[in-house]
């Protein structure tokens, strides 16, 4: 009886701290809880920039939601910012197979099923540098890009 009473007290004392931890948004929880997810999202985002991904268009398209919007794709090449769906982006023809270096990653988690992935893009095979941001949503257990935006850096 004494053991059960002591165990019950320990559990009761631990409950408020556990409830507070569970109630915190993902961004406020300890960093190690998002490390693996951040690495996976950076890997997925990097895949979109890998010229080899163009050889597997179905796998590449699976990274985007059907309603995905893009802003500023090709600003320097097309003469200004536009807002388009991913299908409209592909309507302009083949995506260039440029080699880019991605760095200065930042990943935010406003909710457990939404991530904002932002990073610097520096051209290797083309002279361009900018900042890009993708918003990812987890739907049916799968991460998809729902929004992408890029801007030329100074």
d(CA 123, CA 19): 47
40-67 pLDDT, tens per residue?
Answer: 999 999 998 888 887 888 888 889 998 8
**CATH at residue 45:** 3.10.450.50
Q: Is residue 20 part of a domain?
A: no
Predicted local distance difference test score (pLDDT) of residue 38: 97
Count of the separate structural domains present in the chain: 1
d(CA 27, CA 14): 22
| Inter-residue contact 89 to 77 (CB < 8 Å) | no
Long-range contacts: 32-36, Cβ < 8 Å, 24+? 34/107, 34/109
Starting at the edge strand found earlier in the chain, the sheet holding 142-152 runs 83-85, 64-71, 142-152, 129-139, 114-123, 100-111
Q: What is the mean pLDDT of residues 99-124?
A: 95
Domain boundaries, position 104: 29-152
pLDDT of amino acid 137: 98
């Amino acid at each position: 009886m004494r053991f059960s009473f002591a165990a019950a007290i320990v559990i009761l004392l631990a409950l408020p701290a556990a409830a507070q931890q569970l109630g915190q948004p993902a961004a406020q929880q300890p960093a190690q809880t998002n490390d693996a997810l951040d690495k996976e999202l950076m890997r997925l985002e990097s895949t979109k920039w890998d010229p080899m991904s163009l050889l597997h268009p179905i796998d590449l398209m699976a990274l985007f939601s059907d309603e995905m919007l893009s802003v500023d794709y090709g600003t320097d090449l097309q003469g200004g910012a536009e807002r388009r769906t991913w299908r409209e982006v592909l309507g302009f023809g083949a995506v260039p197979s440029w080699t880019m270096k991605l760095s200065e990653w930042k990943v935010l988690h406003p909710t457990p099923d939404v991530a904002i992935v932002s990073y610097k893009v520096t051209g290797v095979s083309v002279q361009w540098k900018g900042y890009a941001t993708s918003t990812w949503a987890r739907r049916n257990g799968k991460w998809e890009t729902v929004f992408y935006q890029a801007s030329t850096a100074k």
